[in-house]
Structure 1
Amino acid sequence: MATAPAIDRADTRPDMSDAEWKARQELAACYRIFDHLGWTESIYNHITVKLPDEPGAFLINPFGLLFSEVTASNLVKVDIDGNVLDGSDYPVNRAGFVQHAVFHRNLPDAHAIIHTHTTATMAVCATEAGLLPTNFYACNFIGRIAYHDFEGVTVRDEEGERLLKNLGDKRILMLRNHGPVVMGMTLPIAFVQYWALQRACEIQLATLSMGAPIHVSQEVIDVHQRDIFMAQASAEPGRADFDAWVRRIDKIDSSWRE
């Protein structure tokens, strides 16, 4: 399917490697997808991606810009100690950096990390029961998500140890009274996980407003989780979903590629 033409990295940012430019374009597209879906919170919240050819470095959105203003070029490259590596004049939000850096530093498979404050996911994070096994999408996650009690805005480095301890071997952390942190080995994986989690939370809110929900049994959940990957449209989980949304965004505004 046709997409907008790629912008040549050599013409735009000759100081960057091809791997970095590709990562920047993919991440910028993801920000625009989130904006299109309404999963934004003014100038706050973050999606970050490790650079594949530069250990210890990752990309984050410039603090002060809306998701709709993020482009491949204006993403900020930082290291896990908070040093800006690309000479960007944009600041980085400490509340976002601290949380993402602790996971990027300590989890080799946390290549992409998403944290946003959607109404549905925050609402579920604010309930004692958390995510319930009451719908198709929720069954994807039962037994595969962790919870962390609210400690205030995440600007203190010392909270990192507790975040990691509560996460354990999971890769989705529901910050109680706050919102979800979704991690993936690739950005498309993190994206499709967040998409499904968002749908699970939206449906849970709608279901609980109607009365007592039907809970899916653990036996059925186990079968569902065993078979769910059969529904993937490509060999790389999340890739077909992500690329489809990129095509949608390109039809609206392809300036994210710049």
Structure 2
Amino acid sequence: MTKLKENRPVFELPHESLKNSVSEAEWQTRIDLAACYRLVADMGWGDLIYTHISAKVPGSNHYLVNAFGLMFDEVTASNLVKVDLQGNIQQDTSATINPAGFTIHSAIHEARSDAKCIVHLHTKAMISVASLAGGLQPWSQYSMFSLPSLSYHGYEGLAVNDDERTRLQQNLGETNHMLLPNHGGLTLGSTIGDAFMRFYDLQRACEIQLELMSVNAEVIPIPQEIVDNIYQQASVVHSGETGGQKAWPALLRKAWRLDPGFCK
């Protein structure tokens, strides 16, 4: 509820804890997803109250997403909203969600059972590279982690048309990274940590590409055979685990240092 208090608009945040009202698995997912929102805010990737990160509730077809009207650094485990694939809210709350934003997430969750988490953001670097005719180039080590599993989906306006869902699903296929020309980008993963780290790598790749383009000099590209072999090399470095699995405990500690209030 928004009201005027001392000449300032104040948004009253939901503060009742859901810890004892949901399963242990759902509560842990809420903790991890709230941390992800806080980390995105800290990285400067947010877009005010817009864009979304969603995560599947273990053992169900329901998903958690941010309440419409909250900044990313206001998201907590308890004020995340549980919805079904149609965007219908599945808990007792006065909060709402952005239906246009969840169109993309529901389409991917529906088509990809392995997509336990989806990070969809509108960063300047990602919009810029996605909108270039050549898209992402093999110009840095970061781009190596995205290029073997990268797709594109053309801009069709605000994501409010149900017909777009099918085209989005077809364009995504089995890839884990997608650039959306004129719009932004997204990554998905079997864990929240995987989706976050994939977005981190794709964002860095876009930032580096723009830096290289700005100097207007010839760039040394990475050979295609290295691009094709990078996943095998990465599996050796991480001893069979994914980058998200390795990095997520450290990222959780960082989220805690930033503000332990995300766990409420």
TM-score, normalised to structure 2, is: 0.89
More deviation, 167-176/91-100:
167-176
**Counterpart in the other structure of 1:133:** 138
**Counterpart in the other structure of 2:181:** 176
Q: Distance in 1 between matches of 2:85 and 2:128?
A: 30
More deviation, 211-220/185-194:
211-220
Q: Distance in 1 between matches of 2:240 and 2:250?
A: 12
Deviations along 1:117-148, one digit per CA (max 9) or x if unpaired, are 11111111111111000111112222320111
Question: Is structure 2 residue 47 aligned with structure 1 residue 30?
Answer: no
Question: Could you tell me how far 1:52 is from its partner in structure 2?
Answer: 0.7
Uncovered stretches (5+) of structure 2, i.e. residues with no partner: 1-16
Question: Could you tell me how far 1:191 is from its partner in structure 2?
Answer: 0.9
**Counterpart in the other structure of 1:249:** 255
Contact persistence 2:107–2:165 (CA under 8 A): yes
Q: Distance in 2 between matches of 1:131 and 1:71?
A: 34
Q: Distance in 2 between matches of 1:231 and 1:179?
A: 30
Instruction: Return the match for 1:198 from 160, 183, 203.
Output: 203
Contact persistence 2:82–2:91 (CA under 8 A): yes
Equivalent runs, 1:44-123 vs 2, <5 Å: 44-54=50-60, 56-123=61-128
Question: Could you tell me how far 1:234 is from its partner in structure 2?
Answer: 7.6
Contact persistence 1:232–1:238 (CA under 8 A): no
Instruction: Return the match for 1:220 from 199, 222, 226.
Output: 226
CA RMSD of aligned residues (A): 1.5
Structure 1 143/12 Cα, relative in aligned 2: closer, same or farther at 3 Å? closer
Q: Distance in 2 between matches of 1:152 and 1:172?
A: 20
More deviation, 145-154/226-235:
226-235
What amino acid does structure 2 have at the position aligned with 1:162? R
What amino acid does structure 1 have at the position aligned with 2:68? F
Contact persistence 1:48–1:58 (CA under 8 A): yes
Q: How high is the sequence identity, in percent, across the aligned residues?
A: 38
SS in structure 2 of the partner of residue 39 of structure 1 = coil
Instruction: Return the match for 1:41 from 38, 42, 47.
Output: 47
**Counterpart in the other structure of 1:18:** 24
Question: Could you tell me how far 1:243 is from its partner in structure 2?
Answer: 1.7
**Counterpart in the other structure of 1:239:** 245
Aligned residues: 247
TM-score, normalised to structure 1, is: 0.91
Q: Distance in 2 between matches of 1:12 and 1:75?
A: 10
Q: Distance in 1 between matches of 2:138 and 2:243?
A: 23
Question: Could you tell me how far 1:12 is from its partner in structure 2?
Answer: 5.0
More deviation, 182-191/214-223:
214-223
What amino acid does structure 1 have at the position aligned with 2:30? R
Q: Distance in 1 between matches of 2:248 and 2:57?
A: 19
SS in structure 2 of the partner of residue 80 of structure 1 = coil
Q: Distance in 1 between matches of 2:198 and 2:254?
A: 19
What amino acid does structure 1 have at the position aligned with 2:110? R
SS in structure 1 of the partner of residue 147 of structure 2 = coil
What amino acid does structure 2 have at the position aligned with 1:24? R
What amino acid does structure 2 have at the position aligned with 1:169? E
- Of structures 1 and 2, the one scoring higher in RCO (CA 8 A, sep 6+) is 1
Q: Distance in 1 between matches of 2:240 and 2:260?
A: 24
Q: Distance in 2 between matches of 1:33 and 1:254?
A: 12
What amino acid does structure 2 have at the position aligned with 1:185? S
Q: Distance in 2 between matches of 1:236 and 1:151?
A: 33
Q: Distance in 2 between matches of 1:124 and 1:76?
A: 32
